[in-house]
Amino acid sequence: MSKKSIETRDRYPHFLSIQTRWSDNDIYGHVNNVTYYSYFDTVVNSFLIDQGGLDIQTGGVIGVAVETMCEFNQPLAYPEVLEAGLRVGKLGHSSVRYEIGIFQEGATAAAAMGYFVHVFVDRATGRPAPIPDAIRSALERIKV
Amino acid sequence: MPDPTRRTRKDFPYLIQIPTRWSDNDMLGHVNNVLYYRYFEAVVVRFQMEEAGVDWINDAVSPQTVETLCRFHRPLSFPETVDAGLRVERIGNSSVTFAIALFGEDDETPAATGHFVHVFVDSDTLESQPIPAAMRGVFEKFAAP
């Protein structure tokens, strides 16, 4: 496999601290690969709720995942506290591509890095809908 | 390469059934995106054990996950049973890439497609190692024609 370049902390304008849990570790004693996507889900949605005012219970639009990817650089393990870095790589009419790095607390190099593409759809019809203004301006703030 | 979204179950030489569980659905009433990777992992792990003969605990050289990707085409939902299909897409010196597809009960074509990359490493040092010869033979058998 080709040598890849590893993302660093300075490339992410927003961070969320994430406490790992006992059951995040698998039989190898490391955080299981699937769990990283749960961290992705958590940093993305908490940003949308806190900074964009997304109402996950009754809001008119919902975010639907259409593509996600993760590269695993080094193992992580409970009980460490992680930091999830977030930036917006691409912002469209109804879709957004988030780029995410998972870091050990204080580390410069990402332990894992990947992306998450959301399409916003109308909650009732399921059809793609424009990104609401409040969410869009929050996303603009972390766009690179 | 043919469009993966048009593949059918016949394109995947290794297929398992995975019953969804109540808690796989999230508050939007569909299987949460994270869980698709749980299904990916289930078919890859079963394949590695049953076909390639991987012993996760005792092997001196063992597979580590280095990259996964999923494209979500249609929702899946509890209580349906998902068919998870696997084929070998690429065999490198120390890595193998599996193409994965998930089919809902009524799906002719995949509800989700993606890949899962394993690198074989020394279980102690985590340095990458060549794929063991016997396993390479198995991967070739399950590779796309």
Residue A61: which CATH number? 3.10.129.10
Distance from first CA to last CA of chain B, Å, rounded?
A: 12
Quick check: A80 contacting B, CB < 8 Å? no
Strand, helix or coil at A2?
Answer: coil
| A1, part of any domain | no
Apex A119 CA angle, A114 and A121, nearest 5: 155
- Contact at CB, A33 and B119, closer than 8 angstroms: no
Strand, helix or coil at A107?
Answer: coil
pLDDT over threshold 80, residue B1: no
Give exposure, B89-102, as e/b (b: 16+ Cβ within 10 Å). beeeebbbbbbbbb
Which range marks the domain in which residue A82 is found? 9-141
Separation between Cα atoms, residue B42 and residue B90, nearest integer Å: 19
Looking at residue B131, its pLDDT comes to: 98
Give the pLDDT confidence of B86-138 residue by residue, as tens digits.
Answer: 999 999 999 999 999 999 999 999 999 999 999 999 999 999 999 999 999 99
Contact between residue A50 and residue A134 where contact means Cβ atoms under 8 Å apart: no
Tokens at residue A119, please?
A: 């399409």
| A74, part of any domain | yes
| A43, part of any domain | yes
Chain A from 35 to 54: CB within 8 A of any B CB: 35, 37-38, 40-41
Chain mean pLDDT for chain A: 96
Looking at residue B2, its pLDDT comes to: 67
pLDDT over threshold 70, residue B15: yes
Give the pLDDT confidence of A73-101 residue by residue, as tens digits.
Answer: 999 999 999 999 999 999 999 999 999 99
Separation between Cα atoms, residue B1 and residue A85, nearest integer Å: 34
Q: For B4-141, which CATH class?
A: alpha beta
Residue of B64, B69, B92 lying closest to A69 (CB–CB): B69
Q: How confident is the model at residue A1 (pLDDT cuts 50, 70, 90)?
A: very low
Beta bridge mates, B97 = B90, B117
What integer is the mean pLDDT of B16-35? 97
Quick check: A56 contacting B, CB < 8 Å? yes
Q: Which amino acid is located at A143 in the chain?
A: K
B38 chain-A contacts, CB cut-off 8 A? 34
pLDDT over threshold 90, residue B139: yes
Count structural domains, chain A: 1
Contacts of B92 (CB under 8 A, 6+ apart): A1, B131
Q: How confident is the model at residue B144 (pLDDT cuts 50, 70, 90)?
A: confident
Quick check: A69 contacting B, CB < 8 Å? yes
| A125, part of any domain | yes
| Closest by CA position to A117, among listed A93, A129, A99, A144 | A99
